[in-house]
Structure 1
Amino acid sequence: MRILYLIPARAGSKGLPGKNVKILGDKPLIVHTIDFALQNIKEEDELCISSNDEEVLDIAKSLRIDVPFVRPEELASDTANSYDVIMHAIKCYEDNNKCFDLVLLLQPTSPFRSQDDFDTLIQNYDDEVEMVVSVKKAKENPYFTLFEENESGFLDKSKKGNFQRRQDCPDVFAFNGSMYLLKVSALKNRSINEFKKIKKIVMPEERSIDIDTMADWTLAEFYLNKQ
């Protein structure tokens, strides 16, 4: 399996400006994810930093990572989606006769991953799977604590069930933003939100931080110091 390790890092974050290059611990946030990729990448694979941020691209070049393109501005706006960013990267490489079986999307805003997380992700992939994704066990539960407003303006449980305690409800999971292992042939046929054959790996809360605000950053520093 040939894998494209794809790290998306656009400029212009509004929640925490400059977060991708902000120092977490002893290095820029994005370098935590770059280091993780470099520890696992094989000779036939490629590492791609998809960014329109000059500081991010300079960091990549300083680490001797090839930068095959600068992400177009229309794919770096608040309304741009991950699927279009992924397909843009795949096309850029295919135009240069480099094809991949899988894309491993690694978001730099989720800096904490273990080797066991990665190994489990790879082990869960097979030819029948469209995506293996990292998740965390969700605290909120649609059988118990999540509600939707009905046409009369009253709240109904999002998912019907007669459970008296949250502990009795089926487990539900939320994508934690850390790792998405995606089958390229599936990506070419449908968007990610149309995938049906999805497997998960469960990561603990302390490795499921997704940094978007200063409060998230403070929590990430806490977990890093705890480690």
Structure 2
Amino acid sequence: MSKVLFIIPARGGSKGIPHKNIKELCGKPLITYSIDVARQIVSDENICVSTDDDEIIRMVESYGLSVGFKRPDYLSTDQAGTNGVLLHALDFYEKQGHFFDVLILLQPTSPFRKVIHLKEALALYDSSIDMVVSVKEAATNPYYNSFEEGKEGLLTVSKGDGKIERRQDAPKVWEFNGSIYVINPTSLKEKGLSGFTRIKKYEMDDIHSVDLDTMFDWKIAELMLKEKMVE
């Protein structure tokens, strides 16, 4: 079986939802939803919470998960990218002699992913590809009713020939839902996330693809849980 490292990034600063990573969603700190699902796949030694925030560290460790390091400030700014965060975490473990065949990035803002989603996405991965990424059908299809501003401020069709009149006739397109990233560590070190070209999709439904960026998203997620739309 492949040796898997789960990385859960949890920066302290959050503008859309203050302190969102440890804010309680229906009685549970948000980050614990991701910790719980990772624990159904691997032991705690293979779960890494990467954070710059002492309060998040205290909360995670009170939940029984040891936090091996505090993320440096240069990887905790608004401009810092996920690529650097992943490489920093991977380097931390490799310097201790722990090497992994697969990295799985779980963003805390996707609390509704289930263990079955992780297992199915992982089953699609092999070392010949760069990444398996979870997606959902795009809410806005660029081949239908999507426009760009052209010359003289006039709208032009974004994609296609402009002759598609019904959404169901447009090519199906997907968008990342932010939930699951199954990453080849060799590809990450050699090419970085932006250099990935061999990417497989793992499609999820809209309900399990909920991503929390704003307080509106948060209220919707609370309602979904209270109405038992998700378990």
SS of structure 1 residue aligned to 2:126: coil
**Structure-1 separation of matches of 2:150 and 2:191:** 31
What residue number does 1:82 align with?
A: 82
- The residue that corresponds to 1:135 in the other structure is 135
Tell me the distance in 1 between the aligned counterparts of 2:64 and 2:167. Answer: 50
2:34 match: secondary structure: helix
Q: Aligned residue for 2:93? A: 93
Residues 125-155 of structure 1 show CA distances to partners (whole Å, capped at 9, x for unaligned) of 1222210111111120111132222243222
Which amino acid is 2:134 matched to? S
The letter for the 2-side match of 1:38 is: R
Moved more, 181-190 or 55-64: 55-64
Residues 1:41 and 2:31 are matched in the alignment = no
Residue deviations 1:25-56 (CA, integer Å, cap 9, x gap): 1210111111111111158x611000011221
Task: Please state how far the C-alpha of 1:210 moved relative to its aligned partner.
Answer: 1.0
Counterpart code for 1:68: G
- The aligned residue for residue 60 of structure 1 is 60
Per-residue deviation at 1:193? 2.3
Q: Encode CA deviations 1:87-145: one digit per residue, 9 max, x unaligned.
A: 11111111111111111000001100122211210111122221011111112011113
Which residue matches 2:155?
Answer: 155
Tell me the CA shift for residue 64 of structure 1.
2.7
SS in 1 for 2:48: strand
- SS of residue paired to 2:201: strand
Aligned-partner Cα distance in 2 for 1:145–1:192: 30
**Offset at residue 164 of structure 1 (A):** 1.4
The whole-number CA distance in structure 2 between the counterparts of 1:98 and 1:104 is 15
The residue number in structure 2 matching 1:170 is 171
Gaps of 5+ in 2: none
Structure 1 unmatched ranges of 5 or more: none
Output one character per residue of 1:179-220: Cα deviation in whole Å (capped at 9) or x when no partner: 100000000111212211111111111111111111010011
| 1:121 is aligned to 2:121 | yes
| 1:59, distance to aligned residue in structure 2 (A) | 1.8
2:26 is matched with which residue?
25
Counterparts of 2:63 and 2:43 in 1: how far apart (Å)? 17
Aligned residue for 1:225? 226
TM-score normalised by structure 1 residue count: 0.95
CA distance in 1 between counterparts of 2:63 and 2:223 reads: 27
Amino acid at match of 2:116: D
- Residue 185 (1) aligns with residue 186 (2): yes
Looking at structure 2, the residues matched to 86 and 150 of structure 1 have their Cα atoms a distance apart, in angstroms, of 39
Q: Which amino acid aligns with 1:106?
A: L
Give the distance between the partners of 1:100 and 1:84, measured in 2 at CA: 17
Partner SS state of residue 220, structure 1: helix
CA distance in 2, matches of 1:169, 1:73: 45
Distance 1:20 1:82 in 2: 16
**Secondary structure of the equivalent of 2:152?**
coil
Percent of paired sites with the same residue: 43
Distance, in Å, in 2 between the alignment partners of 1:54 and 1:78 is 18
Across the aligned residues of Structure 1 and Structure 2, the Cα RMSD in angstroms comes to: 1.4
